[in-house]
Structure 1
């Protein structure tokens, strides 16, 4: 029975026009894991499976997997391969608290990137800091995605297969032009090693981590650059939230707000404005 559901779920994932390549990869992993550990798509079996998830994975991973499976089960119901969605009759796990994001100022992030000696890695992270792109979005950029005349780049592989244009500032334009003219070998993708191969994600992440631990004594991750981009635009350059949301490729302002870290200075000045017009006289 589970073999039937495995085949149907994998087919539904592959046929979906709305799932991105990375989403399909994650959903396939979720489905295979389910079919290895669950004996049926019924309430008792799924309760045991959810207990297994809780003992194995972090709360955010558990919540993501259950949401993915509930979505896929709805598709099975729609095609009548499943009578009812059993997950709708099981109490969902409590929504995990928002992940505490690490605050890195623009100057600190810039100092770390400036220590990178590999020109390709330097250009890659310089772009992340000044565009807010996700690691995967920058990794899939091609030369055709750059428009130096209009000073913008085209993100064609955004999350959820959403595309967008992101402007390039003058300094980033100079960095990219210098990299393309002097360092980049021939090939389709923008960021290539000296051997003409695409950057290895694990090696590229390691270079940033090591540089930040030496310079700052803490780990700067690629996604932290996205947070720094959003926070700097909003806090220091007074960019409106809707613009930041569009630059990041978000469809919900609530998601963007999680990327804009609180500022102690903003909080302090806000409290100081709470000055009463009259003071109560102490007796």
Structure 2
């Protein structure tokens, strides 16, 4: 339902621009760029993504919001540095990159901001406002630190301590991320029919890139799923006020990632473990599986990675951990 509403809003915003005659479309885009009208330029970028983006109207709301934020941040820089958006100088785009790096932003984050600014210029060219493409040849330094070092997984002890303090909802959510390796968006989108505790399978209907997959449950996760369904599933016991804990078809009562983060953070604080986000649980699933089965292809399929290289770069912890055993006794 949320995605359907978002798509309807995206189409409405698209039509606000595409219903214009080409000359009027160009005039409004030129005016917005000249005045550095943030709201209008963000709207234009959203419209461009909806019509011309790789996924079109199916572009995820999270991606669109990330681009919108990046456009706002670039426009703030352009305003303070008096950048002419329609006729940018050859040093303006590299200067933006240098300013972000000098402020301490990591290369991966800078790359995302450059992608958003580049999308703004594609939108302006789409509207006929300019031919400028200042970010085409901009280079962002690569971060050579392995992903597993920058964003390590939770440890076995971390998860054990948190699971002892977590409530039923939080415990089940933690198992879904740390054993099934689900992204938080995938976990919160689950419906009751997607869980098959008997066969120990989870049907992820729309993962990253709108790709579905079947994910195996661990023994602990299947047990937690059965317990969770008994309490909160269809036909389960009702609260004193007559409301079910998870009304409708969705498994979780959480309506957003922020709400889920709030509740899981409480469990981590109760256990005295720093909460480092949901992805650290997913990292736990990936690194433990790699150590256990040593097959990047199978682990990539479990995590829903499109490329095995993603698994290898972000989840490979074999070299450091394996050598400890081999070096024993040296």
Question: What TM-score does the superposition give when structure 1 sets the normalisation length?
Answer: 0.78
Gapped regions of structure 2 (runs ≥ 5):
1-29, 234-244
Aligned mate of 2:152, from 97, 102, 124: 102
The match for 1:30 is 70
Residues 197, 225 of structure 2: 8 Å contact kept: no
Q: What is the CA–CA distance in structure 1 between the aligned matches of 2:127 and 2:301, rounded to whole Å?
A: 35
Q: What is the CA–CA distance in structure 1 between the aligned matches of 2:261 and 2:163, rounded to whole Å?
A: 20
Q: What is the CA–CA distance in structure 1 between the aligned matches of 2:111 and 2:120, rounded to whole Å?
A: 14
Deviation, 1:251, is: 1.3
The match for 1:137 is 186
The match for 2:6 is none
Matches within 5 A, 1:179-218: 179-183=228-232, 185=245, 186-192=247-253, 200-213=259-272
Deviation, 1:221, is: 3.9
The match for 1:253 is 308
Question: What TM-score does the superposition give when structure 2 sets the normalisation length?
Answer: 0.68
Deviation, 1:104, is: 3.9
The match for 2:115 is 67
The match for 2:289 is 233
Are the structure 2 counterparts of residues 220 and 26 from structure 1 closer, same or farther at C-alpha, using a change threshold of 3 Å? Answer: closer
Gapped regions of structure 1 (runs ≥ 5):
273-283
Deviation, 1:5, is: 4.5
Q: SS at 1:87's partner residue? A: coil
Report the aligned-residue RMSD: 3.0
- List per-residue Cα deviations over 1:1-44 (Å, max 9, x = no partner): 32465442121124424522211111111122223432415234
The match for 2:93 is 46
Deviation, 1:64, is: 1.5
